[in-house]
């Protein structure tokens, strides 16, 4: 693993995730190494054009100074997502504690702002149980949603396609603990992977531990297509997957199944392509 410390130009940026206005990414790259990762394009935007996704992480070591500077000049407003193109709780966070320090600063800001308004919200997207380390902080936010991303209940398959993320069993346990602590949380079945994702199984395991649920199909836009095909053919030994991925009828049925399971378990469904605050 190529791990570097870098001086970043910014820590809060405009977000391109629909439900959010701003994003915070404490790292560049992600050790979880998901073979379908939508954020792989980031390698090309940084100094890692020729490196394999999952083989490098840049630690933004000036994150805290940047955030303090930002807050001197700007009031926090809107929805802020932590971890839009990285996982803020990937294994390196255990030692670096950058995400934890970011939460401490945001919490301090919330306390100061709340005299006037509390018009900002935090979302965290993760596949790592390490988020539980910060439960003392998470509990203190007025508006926070934790999204645990999970596309299979099978620990063995997850080990192949998301090698360094926490196992699905641990992620489901994480949701239980968050729920016990009254922290609003949801599951992102994202992406839905044909022949791998089992909605029936996932819903039955998740329904009593979450407040909301979201799902979206596997993305094969642009260069990601090559990596998705590689995952199916060389790691999962499933061929001709494009026939299924490109089959509109297939997805209509998958959507119907999702809707009917949401009704069966009385779960709030986040609207297609959008994650909205409940
Ligand atoms: S955890 Fe998220 S950001 Fe990290 S490799 Fe997996 S999909 Fe990409």
Determine whether the shortest distance from the Cβ of 35 to ligand 1 is under 6 A.
no
| Burial of 244 per CB tally in 10 Å (0-12, 13-18, 19+) | middle
Determine whether the shortest distance from the Cβ of 32 to ligand 1 is under 6 A.
yes
The whole-angstrom separation of Cα 252 and Cα 137 is 41
pTM assigned to the model: 0.93
> Between the CA of residue 181 and those of 21, 54, 134, 209, what are the distances in Å?
27, 32, 12, 11
Distance 130 CA to ligand 1 centre (A): 15
**Residue 84 forms part of a structural domain:** yes
Neighbours of 277 (CB within 10 A): 12
The whole-angstrom separation of Cα 6 and Cα 10 is 11
Q: What is the pLDDT of residues 210-248, one digit of tens each?
A: 999 999 999 898 889 999 999 999 999 999 999 999 999
| DSSP annotation of 238 | -
CATH number at residue 227: 3.80.30
Q: What is the pLDDT of residues 62-100, one digit of tens each?
A: 999 999 999 999 988 888 999 999 999 999 999 999 999
Judged by DSSP in three states, 249 sits in helix
Judged by DSSP in three states, 185 sits in strand
> Between the CA of residue 201 and those of 3, 134, 249, 263, what are the distances in Å?
37, 29, 22, 15
Lookup result for tokens 């805290």: 64
Q: What is the pLDDT of residues 178-196, one digit of tens each?
A: 999 999 999 999 999 999 9
Determine whether the shortest distance from the Cβ of 31 to ligand 1 is under 6 A.
no
**Residue 257 forms part of a structural domain:** yes
| DSSP annotation of 112 | H
The whole-angstrom separation of Cα 20 and Cα 83 is 11
**Residue 88 forms part of a structural domain:** yes
Domain housing 215: 2-269
Determine whether the shortest distance from the Cβ of 171 to ligand 1 is under 6 A.
no
> Residue 115 — pLDDT band, cuts 50, 70, 90?
low
Q: What is the count of structural domains for the chain?
A: 1
């Amino acid at each position: 693993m190529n791990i570097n410390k870098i001086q970043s130009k910014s820590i809060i940026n405009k977000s391109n995730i629909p439900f959010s206005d701003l994003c915070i990414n404490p790292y560049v790259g992600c050790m979880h190494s998901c073979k379908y990762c939508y954020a792989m394009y980031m390698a090309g935007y940084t100094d890692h054009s020729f490196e394999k996704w999952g083989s490098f992480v840049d630690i933004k070591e000036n994150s805290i100074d940047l955030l303090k500077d930002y807050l001197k000049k700007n009031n926090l407003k809107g929805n802020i997502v932590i971890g839009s193109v990285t996982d803020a709780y990937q294994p390196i966070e255990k030692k670096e504690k950058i995400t934890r320090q970011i939460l401490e600063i945001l919490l301090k800001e919330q306390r100061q702002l709340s005299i006037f308004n509390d018009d900002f919200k935090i979302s965290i997207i993760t596949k790592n149980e390490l988020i539980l380390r910060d439960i003392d902080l998470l509990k203190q936010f007025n508006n926070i949603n934790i999204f645990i991303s999970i596309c299979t209940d099978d620990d063995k398959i997850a080990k192949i396609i998301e090698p360094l993320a926490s196992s699905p069993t641990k992620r489901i346990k994480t949701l239980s603990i968050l729920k016990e602590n009254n922290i609003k949380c949801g599951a992102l079945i994202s992406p839905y992977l044909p022949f791998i994702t089992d909605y029936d199984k996932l819903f039955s395991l998740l329904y009593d531990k979450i407040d909301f649920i979201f799902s979206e199909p596997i993305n094969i836009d642009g260069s990601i297509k090559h990596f998705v095909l590689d995952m199916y053919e060389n790691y999962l030994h499933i061929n001709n997957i494009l026939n299924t991925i490109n089959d509109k009828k297939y997805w209509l049925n998958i959507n119907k199944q999702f809707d009917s399971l949401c009704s069966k378990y009385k779960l709030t469904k986040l609207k297609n392509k959008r994650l909205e605050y409940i």
